[in-house]
Amino acid sequence: MKERIPALLLAILMATMSFTTVTSAEDSGRQAMDVDCSGYTFEDLFEYNNAVFMFEILDDWATSDLYANSWVNESRASVVRDNLDSLFEGLPGGNDNWISTDERDAVREIGAKCIADMYTRIGIREGLPHRGDVDWNDVTFVEEGIGLEEVNLVPEGHPDERVCPASSGRIPSDDCKEVPTTATNNLEISMFTKEDETHNTRFNQLPNFGNGDYENQTFTVAMNATNVTSATMVFSFPYVDGLRMANWTIEDDGETNLEAGSIIETHLPDGSVRVTLTIGYDKADYPMIRNIFFDMTTTPPEENDIPVWSSYAPEDNTIIPIIKDGSEVVAITGNTMENWASDDNAWGLDCEFAETGWSSRMNSDGELLVTSGSSESGTAECSIVDPYGATNNETHTWRFGQPASFSAVAGSYSDSVDIDANPTLLVQSLAVGMAAYQNGGDGPVTNFNLGTTSSSNSVSLSGMSPGEFMIHVTASSDGMLDWNTMLDLSLEKKNTPPVITVKTDEIDGTQATWASDQYSFSLSGTAIDPDGGVVTLSANMCGETTTAFTRDGENWDVSLSIAKCVSDGVTQYDVIITATDPVNGIATADVSVPDPFAGSNTDTGDTDTSAEESGLPSIGMFATIISMLGAALLLRRD
């Protein structure tokens, strides 16, 4: 019998069915060390609301990248947690209607090995279009390339969260937490190619495409979609001249059913192709087998329209602003030129430069990338072309170059930084806006006009967090496309340490407020980070540290017990309050709180008590006598 495993990460795949049969998970128990996941399907464990899968074939036509993301909401999330908990049946703490962080970590530990056992549900076969049960070139997983991540399987802050209890045979980790499997918090799971790895799936290299023999070639992609309740899958193929989808079909038990889903082909500006499948499956139809097939070919279509320029395309001699540093840069974004032309399939720019060293190309995001040469600017004649080589004879001539350069003294700054702007005279004048940029947002914008002479302008760092920031430049000029660029000038915002205060009573100068039992006291005050970050607080007294502060905006309050001090024989309570900002800037406040019992006559151990026991009059007795004498004198005077 196979041992049961923690198999959450099966949810990353539309798992283990061949194209002709369906294999269910074994009902027998598994234990955690067995990572043979070959008998499971995704739906055995994971009832999702929606999933997205993105499968990219790489340039060698033998390796691929499979990204997957699955969402489970509310009641279905509870079902998934219960299914996963049941996988630990027979293990300490398993199948107890609680899902723990220890169980989650066990899943993470063996997840890649588990997934490597499973089918991808994807097959490829070169040659004439194929259907049905043929010898498919199956895509398989590569264990070392699999990266995994889950979100909210064990939701933090759940009202029923508890520390994992120890029991016979169960020794939970120190920070183990668990929640009931009935928790309905949404959860999410994703798979991707691990950082520093090039791929997480592979297949046998396609003979012709792998060797670069693309002319009049065809291959079929097949995918098993049985029990795939609601998913979108995007297939991306590398650039091959003239590659297109020729046909597609969906078959249920071998019979065509095009109503079961949809397939859309998208031609990208760099010539690559994406095929998007949207598919669903009614669980009532199980065990019906649903397969999807689509054929890709480089055979030219019988009819093909020529792309057409629109009136939105820039006029001849328009300046296209770029950063000119000899590297390949984005000259025109896809959003900027999306309405410059139209075609039934797709279109891209094909630009030929007059100057030596200048070149351009389109990428899959629809951007025109330009590499600059040694001349100050480059003039290009640009035509529009579709994926099958149809070109419009009409062309546009544009000039590419950098309208201005910007510099600053590299280093750290507190409130503002001076940026020098130097015109290149590519245009006569520029309306420029500059702002510090960090974490997806701009600071205050400095606007100025740049003519034929250099200009120095101050850029505010208000709202910037300590650390590196960039300069966001926007500029416009007559006869030039609007310029929008980011500059890395090796600048960073200095950190300003937090500021902490302790509230002091204006009447008696005390800072502590004692509890009624006088076994603890509280302190209060304010703590702010001038840079706008969140300040964390801690208090240390008599060797003990607490972070249990009550916060309300910049105001704080903390209660400190004197128990440890008393046990150490300490009667002067010295407190150090530490405020730490997000980049570990620190400020401290020292508070010295006297013992409220010091000098009191209420303690039987005080010297006052000793004096009474020796037979001498107490201070209280003297005070009483003096008061009585004073009263007698007043009466006699009356």
Helix-helix angle 74-86:101-116, to 10 degrees: 80
pLDDT tens string 71-124: 988 888 998 888 778 877 777 778 899 999 998 888 777 778 888 888 888 999
Helix (H) or strand (E) run with residue 333 in it:
none
Q: Which residues contact 315 (CB under 8 A, 6 or more apart)?
A: 396
pLDDT tens string 515-527: 988 899 999 999 9
Verdict on whether the full-model pTM lies above 0.95: no
Collapsing DSSP states into helix, strand and coil, what is residue 317? Answer: coil
The span from the CA of 538 to the CA of 15, in Å, is: 49
pLDDT at 606: 39
pLDDT at 34: 53
pLDDT tens string 444-469: 999 999 999 999 999 999 989 899 99
Residue 492, token pair as written in the block = 């960073």
Helix (H) or strand (E) run with residue 61 in it:
none
pLDDT at 502: 96
- Average of per-residue pLDDT across 438-448: 94
Judge whether residue 248 has pLDDT over 70: yes
Collapsing DSSP states into helix, strand and coil, what is residue 606? Answer: coil
The span from the CA of 337 to the CA of 313, in Å, is: 7
Collapsing DSSP states into helix, strand and coil, what is residue 460? Answer: strand
Judge whether 150 and 187 are in contact, CB under 8 Å. Answer: yes
Q: How many of the other CB atoms lie within 10 Å of CB of 153?
A: 24
- In the DSSP assignment, the letter for residue 170 is B
* Better-predicted residue by pLDDT, 31 or 43: 43
pLDDT tens string 277-333: 999 999 899 899 999 999 999 988 888 889 999 999 999 999 999 999 999 999 999
* Pick from 148-157, 376-385, 416-425: least confident: 148-157
pLDDT tens string 495-522: 989 999 999 988 888 999 999 888 999 9
The span from the CA of 130 to the CA of 19, in Å, is: 13
The span from the CA of 350 to the CA of 307, in Å, is: 12
pLDDT tens string 132-145: 888 999 999 999 99
The percent of residues in the chain predicted with pLDDT above 90, rounded, is: 61
Q: Which residues contact 77 (CB under 8 A, 6 or more apart)?
A: 183, 184, 185, 186, 187
Tokens 């193929």 found at: 237
Judge whether 45 and 58 are in contact, CB under 8 Å. Answer: no
Judge whether 173 and 55 are in contact, CB under 8 Å. Answer: no
Looking at the domain covering 499-594, what would its CATH class be? mainly beta
**Domain spans in the chain, listed from the N-terminal domain onward:** 8-273, 308-401, 404-493, 499-594, 607-637
Q: Which residues contact 307 (CB under 8 A, 6 or more apart)?
A: 341, 342, 343, 347, 384, 385, 386, 390, 391, 392
- CB burial of 530-554 (b: ≥16 within 10 Å; e: otherwise) equals ebebebbbbbebbeeeeeebeeeee
Judge whether residue 22 has pLDDT over 70: no
pLDDT at 45: 60
Half-sphere exposure of 345 (CA within 13 A, CB side): 30
Q: How many of the other CB atoms lie within 10 Å of CB of 264?
A: 12
Cis upstream peptide for 172 (omega within 30°): no
Beta strands in 49-91 (DSSP E): 50-57, 63-72
pLDDT at 74: 87
Q: What would the CATH number be for the domain defined by 308-401?
A: 2.60.40
Beta strands in 106-205 (DSSP E): 122-126, 137-138, 140-141, 146-151, 162-163, 177-180, 187-193, 201-202
Task: Quickly state the pLDDT bin for 41 (edges 50, 70, 90).
Answer: low
The span from the CA of 95 to the CA of 92, in Å, is: 9
Collapsing DSSP states into helix, strand and coil, what is residue 81? Answer: helix
The amino acid present at 2, given as its one-letter code, is K
pLDDT at 272: 86
Q: How many of the other CB atoms lie within 10 Å of CB of 5?
A: 25
Judge whether residue 275 has pLDDT over 90: yes
- In the DSSP assignment, the letter for residue 428 is S
Q: Which residues contact 306 (CB under 8 A, 6 or more apart)?
A: 343, 386, 390, 391, 392
Question: Is there a common fold for 308-401 and 499-594?
Answer: yes
Q: What would the CATH number be for the domain defined by 404-493?
A: 2.60.40
Q: Which residues contact 264 (CB under 8 A, 6 or more apart)?
A: 275, 276, 278
pLDDT at 426: 95
Q: Which residues contact 383 (CB under 8 A, 6 or more apart)?
A: 349, 350, 351, 391, 392, 393, 394, 395
